Amino acid sequence: MAAQSTSASWPRGVDPTGRHLVDADGKPFFWLGDTASLLSQIPNREDAEHYLAPPDVGTLASLDPALILAPPRGMEAGYIPIANRQELAGAASRPHDQGKAR
């Protein structure tokens, strides 16, 4: 079986009427995207990786970053650098009190 190849013709702009995107040749471009809105409901890492796997045909759509940065409790995996220095609400402001609950 021969390997399939696809080439993307990304949108280059908006048509003069402002109704749709156009490719480099000025032809209408249809963009279908999807969010990973069900990601927070997937029970384990293996199923999540299957859900996020690249499609067999076509290209990937974009993901909603909020679903990646705020996983449900118990589903945390890996290092999240953006949330690295956040503190709990109401945490003490003096260095020697950091991390103590009030």
Helix (H), strand (E) at residue 22: strand 21-22
pLDDT, residue 56, reads 72
Mean pLDDT of 76-90: 53
Distance CA 64, CA 41 (A): 15
Strand 21-22, strand 13-14: pairing: antiparallel
Residue showing tokens 């702009």:
13
- The overall average pLDDT reported for the chain is 66
pLDDT tens-digit map of 21-69 = 888 788 887 776 666 777 778 888 888 888 877 777 666 656 666 656 5
Distance CA 82, CA 96 (A): 24
Mean pLDDT of 72-101: 53
